[in-house]
């Protein structure tokens, strides 16, 4: 059985020590979002996740969703848990008060999403998709569309989906065949086509499901330029807000998956379904990216969340499991054997998990605070700066945090030894669940191409400067502090080499796109490792000043993990930089037929 307790002390450290969440209350509309409110909400969220959602995680995995006669049923207990979730206002946390939301910051939502996914990732998929649909309609919908759909998405009585993928195309959305034909009323279309891999596409948790569907208006431009976005509800909505007849939307089947088995992944067929144009015709990707970018950050959080559960579970097992004796002599002579946490290799694995997870949480919090500034800061320049930073970091959050999650969950299995391979201990489920995070919402290789192909050159490198300049300034300000040298110097060296390879990738990529493509994944990982290294250096600075207080053990753990990161994790960048410099030749010279 896995172990999970919401890491509330970690949240306080991030919000009140590493960052200053109190600054959010100075932004318009966030006046009530004080640190005390954050703490109260997180404490209540912890109870829900630990007591309601977490106990359903294993049973949900074993039972899975069922499909019969077009009806999808979620596992036992999910409907009751969802009703509690909705009644508690968790679907409304960051939504606009005009539509029944609480108007709280994205930073708070990020931490709640982490707790939900740590406790039960499959469950979290349902409200997570709904929040993405809410955001797309809130940003791009007409006033009438907002009044019609948002209140029910906000209160959770309706849910939402994102319908992109088709059998013949995943990432290459220019190949979409789902068509939209004008229905004779302005903005109303008949949607026909098939979508696959639709998370939460059909289920028994809500009264209605609001599908956001990419389709091509008949006669529109070819390729990606001809894609539009439509709101297609499962049940039509009457003028008074009540539910009308069933729309032409049917679930054809559900997938039988390696993981997240309690999340319904559906084939959805649209048969002249009534849909409503969202945003401008032929500009669907612009609107859909509002949802996709939020989803990519959310998937990164899923990775962080699974890494946290794996770490907590493996830590507990390593402290309890008696096996062998410490290499340097008995540590617990009164016991038949020492706990395996005395062994260097077990410590290596646990510290890797801890460094990945706590570093990921710091990185996610840094980006989530920028999300709030981008939306609420009254200064346009500050909003632009925050938005640039989010754009740069989104592919890194998605890919880096999910790659590390799969590594961390696998390390957890290794710590358990043979028991890690056995279902009843729960570790193998975390591995299976974490694997999808590297694939959906844009496979991690696609995230790397987005970083080097779009974000790096955007606005003549302006997005890169949003990271490079503050990191450089912080490092230089601390060069003369002897107590920080063991943390600052490794990061400064890796940071300098990151800047060098950035210029190299940009230069070689302009001459040959394959050069950028060949470097992309390793460049993204190197960037992420340096970003985490910078945050671990900041964490170490705080911990050094607080070793003498009542929580000395907590800060000692931070300091030791920061040292481990600098000594054993950050040096991975050396190999990455060598691989980046090696170029594309060794990857591209072999003819496809010779593989």
Report, as residue numbers or ranges, the catalytic residues. Answer: 441
Query: Contact at 8 Å (CB) between 249 and 268?
Result: yes
Structure tokens at 277: 């144009």
What's the distance, Cα to Cα, between the start and end of the chain in Å?
Answer: 43
DSSP output for 31-79: TT--HHHHHHHHHHHHHHIIIIIGGGHHHHHHH--EEETTEEEPPTTHH
Kindly compute the dihedral angle of the four CA atoms of residues 233, 237, 243, 248, in this order, to the nearest 10 degrees: -40
Helix or strand run (H / E) with residue 160: strand 158-163
Q: Is 460 exposed, middle or buried (0-12, 13-18, 19+ CB in 10 A)?
A: exposed
β-strands 179-182, 208-217: how paired?
parallel
Residue (of 511, 502, 467) closest to 580 by Cα position: 502
Residue (of 358, 379, 359, 383) closest to 371 by Cα position: 383
Cβ-based neighbours of 158, under 8 Å, separated by 6 or more: 130, 149, 152, 206, 207, 208, 209, 210
Three-class secondary structure of residue 165 per DSSP: coil
DSSP output for 463-529: HHHHHHHHHHHHHHHTTT-GGGHHHHHHHHHHHHHHHHHHHHHHHHHHH-HHHHHHHHHHHHHHHHH
Q: Is 21 exposed, middle or buried (0-12, 13-18, 19+ CB in 10 A)?
A: buried
Composition of the chain by helix, strand, coil, percent to 5 = 65, 15, 25
Three-class secondary structure of residue 89 per DSSP: coil
Query: Contact at 8 Å (CB) between 314 and 3?
Result: no
Sign, CA torsion 54/55/57/60? negative
Q: Is 575 exposed, middle or buried (0-12, 13-18, 19+ CB in 10 A)?
A: exposed
Structure tokens at 86: 């909705």
Three-class secondary structure of residue 237 per DSSP: strand
Query: Contact at 8 Å (CB) between 502 and 530?
Result: no
How many of the other CB atoms lie within 10 Å of CB of 319?
A: 11
Query: Contact at 8 Å (CB) between 215 and 230?
Result: yes
Query: Contact at 8 Å (CB) between 353 and 427?
Result: no
Query: Contact at 8 Å (CB) between 335 and 349?
Result: no
């Amino acid at each position: 059985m896995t172990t999970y307790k919401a890491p509330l002390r970690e949240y306080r450290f991030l919000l009140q020590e590493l960052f200053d969440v109190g600054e959010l209350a100075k932004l318009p509309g966030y006046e009530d979002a004080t640190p005390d409110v954050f703490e109260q909400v997180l404490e209540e969220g912890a109870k829900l996740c630990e007591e309601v959602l977490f106990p359903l995680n294993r049973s949900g995995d074993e039972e899975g969703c069922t499909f019969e006669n077009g009806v999808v049923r979620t596992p036992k207990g999910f409907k009751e848990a969802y009703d509690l979730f909705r009644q508690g206002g968790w679907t409304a946390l960051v939504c606009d008060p005009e539509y029944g939301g609480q108007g709280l910051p994205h930073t708070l939502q990020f931490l709640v999403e982490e707790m939900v996914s740590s406790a039960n990732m499959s469950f979290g998929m349902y409200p997570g998709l709904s929040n993405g649909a809410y955001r797309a309609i809130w940003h791009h919908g007409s006033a009438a569309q907002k009044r019609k759909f948002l209140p029910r998405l906000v209160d959770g009585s309706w849910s939402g989906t994102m319908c992109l993928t088709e059998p013949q195309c995943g990432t290459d959305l220019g190949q979409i065949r789902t068509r939209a034909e004008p229905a004779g009323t302005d903005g109303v279309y008949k949607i026909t086509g098939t979508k696959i891999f639709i998370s939460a596409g059909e289920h028994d948790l809500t009264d209605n499901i609001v599908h956001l569907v990419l389709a091509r208006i008949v006669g529109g431009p070819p390729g990606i330029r001809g894609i539009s976005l439509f709101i297609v509800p499962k049940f039509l909505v009457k003028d008074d807000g009540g539910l009308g007849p069933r729309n032409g939307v049917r679930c054809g089947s559900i997938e039988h998956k390696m993981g997240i088995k309690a999340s319904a992944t559906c084939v959805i067929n649209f048969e002249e379904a009534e849909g409503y144009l969202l945003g401008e015709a032929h500009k669907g990707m612009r609107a859909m990216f509002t949802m996709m970018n939020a989803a990519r950050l959310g998937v990164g959080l899923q990775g962080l969340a699974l890494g946290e559960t794996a770490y907590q579970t493996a830590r507990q097992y390593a402290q309890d499991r008696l096996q062998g004796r410490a290499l340097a002599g008995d540590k617990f002579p009164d016991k038949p054997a020492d706990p395996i946490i005395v062994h260097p290799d077990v410590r290596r694995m646990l510290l890797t998990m801890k460094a990945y997870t706590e570093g990921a949480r710091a990185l996610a919090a840094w980006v989530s605070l920028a999300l709030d500034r981008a939306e609420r800061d009254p200064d346009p320049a500050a909003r632009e700066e925050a938005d640039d930073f989010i754009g740069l970091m989104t592919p890194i959050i998605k890919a880096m945090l999910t790659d590390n999650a799969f590594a961390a969950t696998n390390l957890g299995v290794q710590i358990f030894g043979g028991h890690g391979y056995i279902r009843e201990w729960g570790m193998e489920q975390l591995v299976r669940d974490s694997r999808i995070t590297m694939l959906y919402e844009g496979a991690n290789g696609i995230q790397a191409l987005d970083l080097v192909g779009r974000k790096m050159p955007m606005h003549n490198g302006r997005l890169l400067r949003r990271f490079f300049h503050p990191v450089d300034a912080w490092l230089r300000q601390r060069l003369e502090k002897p107590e920080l040298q063991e943390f600052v110097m490794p990061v400064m060296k890796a940071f300098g080499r990151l800047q060098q390879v950035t210029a190299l990738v940009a230069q070689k990529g302009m001459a040959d796109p394959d050069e950028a493509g060949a470097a992309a994944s390793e460049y993204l990982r190197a960037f992420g490792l340096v970003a985490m290294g910078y945050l671990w250096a900041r964490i170490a600075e705080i911990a050094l000043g607080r070793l003498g207080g009542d929580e000395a053990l907590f800060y000692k753990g931070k300091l030791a993990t920061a040292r481990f990161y600098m000594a054993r994790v950050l040096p991975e960048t050396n190999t990455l930089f060598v691989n980046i410099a090696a170029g594309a030749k060794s990857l591209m010279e072999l003819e496809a037929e010779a593989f």
